[in-house]
Copies of this chain bind each other. A is one copy, B any other.
């Protein structure tokens, strides 16, 4: 299945609101995609401080304060962060209790939502520069891994760095680094090139989130910091309630991609 590249974000969000469940990689060329992390306001300080201290994995694009269900990134008053993503995970006390396309039943007025940059944003630039993106070519989700590298903690909140992986032909690795370095708000340059073991990843075929993709001979697995990182932290820290996007199933925002290069 190939993603609808030319769709406007509002139309994509309307499809998700109507029930379509799909990873969003390759969708809506030219628009920023975002991770969602929603927690009770009592935990919001720790999450915002965690993001500030781990900016490479948690670049904050915007925050919806307690009681807000929309904002500029969701198209203004008509948006609804509870329905406009393709799929959500709901965790209670650190346990995954549900994966659903709509979280209105779980909503409370004290919930605060963080919208964080996503590496899907730079994939168009990679493709435009001739760097292949395997999971887009295969029409699947990007593989993501929990690493043994710890984030800097904040209050009660700590957890591992989570990364996304793209196999890149050796000759194009430098180009991929240069291009993604220009996108600091969506994770920037890779955190690791080659050697998955340096991140404590023992089996590339068994990602912790998303779908596995093959790494061909002559290709190098390249790892970028991933916006699932704070989701792993709030789960590990057993916050009483966490709502997050299903990894790879992002908010497609009304923010145009930055012009860089």
Chain A 145-177 near chain B by CB (<8 Å), digits 1 or 0: 000000000110000000000000000000000
Does A181 touch B at the CB level, under 8 Å? no
* A32 interfacial by beta-carbon distance below 8 Å: no
Question: Which size class do A's interface residues fall under?
Answer: 10 to 19
Q: Which of B44, B52, B60, B65 contacts A63 (CB 8 A)?
A: B52
Q: What is the predominant secondary structure among interface residues of chain A facing chain B?
A: helix
Tell me the complex Cα distance, A49–B48, Å: 8
A53 contacts across to B, CB distance below 8 A: 63
In Å, the complex CA distance between A53 and B65 comes to: 12
In the bound complex, CA of A211 to CA of B259 (Å): 39
CB contact under 8 A between A155 and B52, given known A44-B45, A45-B44, A45-B45:
no
A49 to B64, CA, bound (A): 10
Nearest Cβ distance between residue A40 and chain B, in whole angstroms? 12
Give 1 or 0 for each of A65-103: 1 = CB within 8 Å of chain B CB. 100000000000000000000000000000000000000
**Number of copies of this chain that the complex holds:** 2
In whole angstroms, how far apart are the Cα atoms of A154 and B66 in the complex?
12
> A48 — nearest CB in chain B belongs to which residue?
B48
Whether the pair A52, B60 counts as a contact (CB closer than 8 A) is yes
Tell me which residues from 30 to 70 in chain A have a Cβ below 8 Å from any Cβ of chain B. Answer: 41, 44-45, 48-49, 52-53, 60, 63, 65
Known: A41-B45, A48-B48, A53-B63; 10 extra A-B contacts, CB below 8 A, are: A44-B45, A45-B45, A45-B48, A48-B49, A49-B65, A52-B52, A52-B60, A52-B63, A65-B154, A65-B155
Chain A residues within CB distance 8 Å of chain B: 41, 44-45, 48-49, 52-53, 60, 63, 65, 154-155
9 A-B contact pairs sorted by A residue (CB < 8 Å): A44-B45, A45-B48, A48-B48, A48-B49, A48-B52, A52-B52, A52-B60, A65-B154, A65-B155
